[in-house]
Structure 1
Amino acid sequence: MSVLFQTRKYLFRKPFNNTFCKYVFLRKNSDVPRKFVTFDEIVTQRRLEAQRSLVVQVNSDSSFNELYSYCSKYASINDIHHYKNSGGEHFMLIEFESEDNLKEVLKSCSAHNKDHDMISVQSPFVWFRAAAGKKEKLVAHEKNLAVKNGLEIINEDVLYQELMNCDTVSDQIQLMYDRTTLNDLGIRLRYMVARQLEVIFSSLYSNVRVQPFGSSVNGFGRMGCDLDLILTNTLTEEMSEGGRRLVFQEKRCEGGRGAARHVELAGALLELRVPGAARVVRVLHARVPIVKYAHLYTDLHCDLCYNNLSGAHMSELLWQLGALAPRARALAVLVRRWAARAGLTHAQPGRWLTNFPLTLLVLFFLQQRPALLPPLDLLVRYARKEDVRIAEENINCTFLRDLNKLPPESYGQNDDDLETLLFKFFEFYSQFDFEDKAISINVGKAIRKPNSLPLYIVNPLEQSLNVSRNVSYEECERLKLEVRNAAWHLESCLEGKRADDWGILGLIESKSSRGLKKLLRVGNSHRLVSMKDIFNDDDEPAVEGIRAKLQKYVKNDKEVEDSIKEMKSEMIKEKKSDQITFKNTQTKNEVYRIRRDKIV
């Protein structure tokens, strides 16, 4: 978000054209009261940016000067951002000074050749055709690309090397958040996709509005995350004024499946009228009907639903809690990454956890004393008349929208750094009573479970629902084991031990990568032989020469025995230092097996 929060610890972002460093974060301490911008103001700002922006497909990033020279003849330009999609195609997002400037540019746009079997459509996604005949003279200017390759995701090996070079675990967590969180261009493009649908659907709906929700706007999104969209056509007070005698005739949906019918129509429009939309799939019989599609120009996987306003209000709530405690966002991003690497979450839905319950686990932990975040009930208590929101099916989404009216002593009382918070997070849930207690950020403390489901996490806006009801008993047990395992790993980091899996590297590296590193360690070097040492550059390998050279890499029996004894002694020490008690032998054996694997 391009918004400055005056907080005790705030983040100020300045974009760079460096491939591996998109943002530099400057942190300052201040005793001045916090000033918060409302979520509605953020959304309004992003929508206005989209309304005066255009996405242009170009030949390459070197097309910048020619494109700038051409567009500047029609309107004034603020900035131009460059990115590439997965197909290697180049695009530039141009932000003009006003929406009127954009309209002037759109008037200069042409359609495809009339012989083509297609119907032209006005859309904020266009392409820059090569100049016919002699090239035009470029207009002199001092502008440069604001961002080049703005959607490039940092290479995992580069990221791991940067994490290894950090001084503290807190620095690692902050670096992970800085390098992987959704950047300014990613957010702009998501609002551009929403704007594209608004322009095309406006001929069918009165006061149509398409807005992103979920990870794209709640502050917890990562680069490349999916885009969730809501289509609404809520009438304004002026349009529904009772004193007006002439009223538009309307078509009422029959059969009680209005949302599904609207989504079905949206799917047909996506297939026929929306440039860049592909692989359209309608899911009409779900609790919330959606249409799924891929947007080829932005590399986004999109889910479009109709009038599901409770999802938008949930995004607003998560954004507000993240604004109250920026550390919550960095912590949640790391926990999500850890859960994915541990196999607790998967890309496909099933009997396992998803990112939303994981985020609630982080927020609930931060509500414990000393509290970094307030319970939701406190935000409801301070809500005023202008904060009242009632979503579909009479879901009450009322809570305080202006965080400046919240008492300062109700939040931000915890001064622990990210390293300590992460360790305490795993320690907290390694001792949590999942069998009898449920998690609720509404009250900020554990409550009695209303049923016997393995894991119960209360939906903040629909408190009768359990957002983790799909989690099986086996997956809940795996969650308990993995949080204990993570706590043990971080405890060794706090004690000053530093190795290849130091800090959060041991939590976020894939198991296959971790196993390969173990194979390449010095203890296993008797199995590895460099081919350069066996073969000469210019000769055929000789059998006797190979045997002779292999002989010096083989350890004798005494060295192997010493290595095994050393590993056994380490395992015994670990068992003696283990203070956790277990309820049954099966769980105990499983934990010791994981500890043994980590040592080996």
Structure 2
Amino acid sequence: PLFKDILRNRHNQAKRSVVIRTQNPEATVESLLTFGNLKHAHFTSQDKAYILAEFANEASITKLRQTAGFFSEPNQFPMRSRVLFDTSSRSAKKHRPLPQIDDVNWNGKSSQQYPLMDLLQQEVESLCTRRSLDDSDLRMRFFVCLQLEELLQSILPEAYILPFGSCLNGFGWWNSDLDMMLCFSKELCSPDMTAMQNGRFSNFRMLTETFGSNRMLAQTTLNMVSSLLQLVPRVHHVSRILNARVPIIRFKHMAVNLDCDISLQATDSIKMTELLYLYSVCDPRVRPLMAVIKQWAICHHLTAGGEQQKPTTIGILFMLLYYLQTRSPPVVPTLKKLQSYASTTEMFYIDDTLYGLPSKPSLIPRSQNTETIDNLLHGFFTFYSEFDFKNNAISVIEGSTFSKPADATAVYIENPLSLGLNICRNVAGGQLSNFIAAMKDAASKLEALNVKQETSKKTPLSKLSFLFSTNHDSGNLEPVQISELFSDADLIVDSESNDGKDNDNLTDQVSNQSSHVA
């Protein structure tokens, strides 16, 4: 699907949706049906306390919100929103069949078990499917965007809350944070108000306050937004991070269990999301490869969390993209090649640099590369365990390296949409050494697995369990022979791996807002 179509369809879907705090799910669904037909309903968390329901049309939402009252409580702020409480606790009468409430497989999404399958590729693709955002995840994210959008439209009638980053770029996981930007107009990425309204209005203009810089505008605007968020039902832990290079507001939406960030409109952020989306769909091997590399890095504690000197997920993603560009033939095109597929109407400027991205993924020719996921994965670990990080910087624009700036940190990956910025500027030399050592070990493990497959020896231990294991996990892994590692167990739990919330969006990383991935 087209990137803009995803945005439009999900936004319209959210406009037909409501979140209900329920005491009796079946009774709640039966009550909702009195306002119109339901197209979809699912629980937003494992405790089944909230239901996100989509009606067949917006008129049902309007009717429901108009009839909803308020609790008789002192000191309440009587805000009308899309988050409601069903006071009914009666059993459903079931005069007619009720729509099923989808129960999300939360355990499957977060499971640290990696089932044994015949091929490594099958295990990798299964992991990717389990971890990736599904329909319910996207519904909840766009719902939050719409709730905030409606809050702000009372003072900014054309305001639009646009999600970006992991929830749209194709590489997000089910537990990724929600990144949003406040746009002053529904015309995406058009901050020039004068240009937008040419020919639309008379000679009269609104008197407005102006600020000395975009940063001051962002700080003042977000300060106002944070105050309003304090009044939104089920929005907690609102915090201002206004002194970061890119100011943000961070909060927790309890009804859908999402950690959220909101910033001011930025063309590079949404265009970076669109760029990565094109890469995620241009070849079916890209997303599974990123999923297994990301999980491997998490299991080995190689990605940035509490320590900010480690590589971030976005850095690893661009390492993968560059590696895939260098294959012969390439698996994915360079940014320069992508631009050649864009029409003149799809061109845009960022910091006076002209770019172009084709809106239709189908315009990107299919890769002639026929390598398997297994081979590409092994090649990734081998490629970077031998890469000259000391002297070379990486560019996905050209699909080549260039001389590393003298003052650069241990790893230099050029931000393709913010030239001069290093996506991996936080990585320290010691952490890079750990990363390289882990990649050498991973390459050796994949070679051992390949030997096992060629000799047709049965390996009850799943291949991903072996790849993700560390010496710290299991003290007997290192002393024994490879053949001794495989027992009769069908599954192994990786006690050191974790699927906790990604921390790519901490303050230091926020300065590269266009690089959010999750």
TM-score by length of 1: 0.73
> Residue type matched to 2:8 in 1?
T
Equivalent residue, structure 2, for 1:427: 382
From the superposition, tell whether residues 484 and 337 of structure 1 become closer, same or farther in structure 2 (CA, over 3 Å): same
Alignment of 1:339-378 (within 5 A): 339-348=297-306, 350-368=308-326, 369-378=328-337
Q: Following TM superposition, by how much is the alpha carbon of 1:506 offset from its aligned partner in structure 2, in angstroms?
A: 2.4
- Cα pair distance change 1:155/1:207, threshold 3 Å: closer
Deviations 1:381-428 (A, max 9, x none): 23222212335x55655322223333x2xx421122211211111122
What code does the residue aligned with 1:358 have? I
Give the equivalent residue in structure 1 for 2:268. Answer: 310
In structure 1, the partner of 2:431 is: 475
Structure 2 counterpart of 1:443, which letter?
E
1:19-58 aligned within 5 A: 37-58=1-22
Which amino acid counterpart does residue 506 of structure 1 have in structure 2?
F
Q: 1:179 corresponds to which residue?
A: 130
- What does residue 71 of structure 1 align with? 32
Cα displacement string for residues 193-251 of structure 1 (whole angstroms, at most 9, x for unaligned residues)? 11110111111213111121111111111121111111111375774536513333323
Match of 2:344 among 385, 392, 400: 385
**Which residue of the partner structure matches residue 62 of structure 2?**
103
CA–CA separation in structure 1 for the residues paired with 2:353 and 2:265: 13
Segment drifting more, 321-330 vs 103-112: 103-112
Partners of 1:75 and 1:105 within 8 A in 2 = no
The yes-or-no answer on 1:207 pairing with 2:158 is: yes
User: Does 2:255 match 1:297?
Assistant: yes
Rounded Cα–Cα distance in structure 1 between residues aligned with 2:414 and 2:339: 16
Residue 83 of structure 1 is matched in structure 2 by 44
Unaligned 5+ residue runs, structure 1?
1-36, 525-600
Q: SS of the counterpart of 2:163? A: strand
Equivalent position of 1:33 in the other structure: none
Q: How does 1:222-371 map to 2 (within 5 A)?
A: 222-234=173-185, 239-241=197-199, 243-253=201-211, 257-271=216-230, 273-348=231-306, 350-368=308-326, 369-371=328-330
RMSD between superposed Cα atoms in Å: 2.6
Shift of 1:188: 0.7
Query: What is the CA distance between 1:123 and its match in structure 2?
Result: 1.5
Cα distance between partner residues in 1 of 2:207 and 2:171: 43
Mapping for residues 47-196 of structure 1, pairs under 5 Å:
47-59=11-23, 63-84=24-45, 88=47, 90-113=49-72, 115-130=73-88, 137-141=93-97, 143-145=99-101, 147-149=102-104, 151-154=106-109, 156=111, 159-160=113-114, 162=115, 165-196=116-147
Q: Deviations over 1:473-529 (max 9, x none)?
A: 1112222211111100100000116657652212324654333778999999xxxxx
Q: Which residue of 2 aligns with 1:504?
A: 464
Distance of 1:265 and 1:325 partners within structure 2: 43
| Map of 2:373 onto structure 1 | 418
Is the CA contact 2:339–2:355 (under 8 Å) kept in the aligned structure 1? no
Distance 1:118 1:351, change over 3 A: same
Residue 47 of structure 1 aligns to a residue whose secondary structure is: helix
CA change 1:156–1:94 in 2 (3 A) is closer
> Which letter maps to 2:337?
L
Gaps of 5+ in 2: 188-194, 486-518
Structure 1 pair 246/75, CA: closer, same or farther in 2 (3 Å)?
farther
| Structure 2 CA distance for aligned equivalents of residues 47 and 155 of structure 1 | 27
SS of the residue 2:100 aligns to: coil
Q: Is the contact between residue 83 and residue 151 of structure 1 (CA under 8 Å) also seen in structure 2?
A: no
Distance 1:485 1:443, change over 3 A: same
CA distance in 2, matches of 1:260, 1:498: 60
Secondary structure of the residue aligned to 1:446 is strand
TM-score, scaled relative to structure 2: 0.84
Shift of residue 112 of structure 1?
A: 2.0
SS in 1 for 2:239: strand
| Secondary structure of 2:249 counterpart | strand
Whole-angstrom CA distance in 2 between matches of 1:231 and 1:293: 15
In structure 2, what residue type is equivalent to 1:226?
A: D
Call closer, same or farther: CA 1:520–1:205 in 2, change over 3 Å. farther
Is the alpha carbon distance of 1:286 and 1:395 closer, same or farther for their aligned partners in structure 2, counting shifts above 3 Å?
farther
Amino acid at match of 2:391: D
SS at 1:246's partner residue?
A: coil
Alignment partner, residue 412 of structure 2: 456
Matched-pair contact (CA < 8 Å) for 1:57–1:89: no
Correspondence for 1:493 among 446, 449, 453: 449
Sort the Cα spacing of 1:395 and 1:268 in 2 relative to 1 into closer, same or farther, 3 A.
farther
By how many angstroms is 1:45 displaced? 0.9
Q: What letter corresponds to residue 423 of structure 2 in structure 1?
A: V
**Secondary structure in 2 aligned to 1:84?**
coil
Structure of greater relative contact order (alpha carbons < 8 Å, 6+ residues apart): 2
Secondary structure of the structure 2 residue equivalent to 1:198 = helix
**For 2:179, what is the secondary structure of its paired residue?**
strand
Residue by residue over 1:87-108, the C-alpha shift from the partner in whole angstroms, topping out at 9 and shown as x without a partner, is: x351111111122222122122
Q: 1:466 aligned to 408, 413, 422, which one?
A: 422
Counterpart residue type for residue 325 of structure 1: D
Deviation per CA, 1:239-294: give whole Å up to 9, x if none: 453651333332323576111111111111111x2111111111111110001111
Aligned CA distance change for structure 1 residues 346 and 244 (closer, same or farther; 3 Å): same
Secondary structure of 1:373's counterpart equals coil
Q: How far off its partner does 1:355 sit? A: 0.3
1:524-567: CA deviations, max 9, x gaps? 9xxxxxxxxxxxxxxxxxxxxxxxxxxxxxxxxxxxxxxxxxxx
Cα 1:501–1:523 shift into 2, 3 Å = closer
The equivalent of 1:216 in structure 2 is: 167
Number of residue pairs matched by the alignment: 470
Query: Following the alignment from structure 1 to structure 2, what is the Cα–Cα distance between the partners of residues 277 and 211?
Result: 18
Equivalent residues of 2:161, 2:180 under 8 A apart? yes
- Residue 349 of structure 1 and its aligned partner are, at CA, apart by 5.4
Distance 1:268 1:248, change over 3 A: same
Other-structure match for 1:533: none
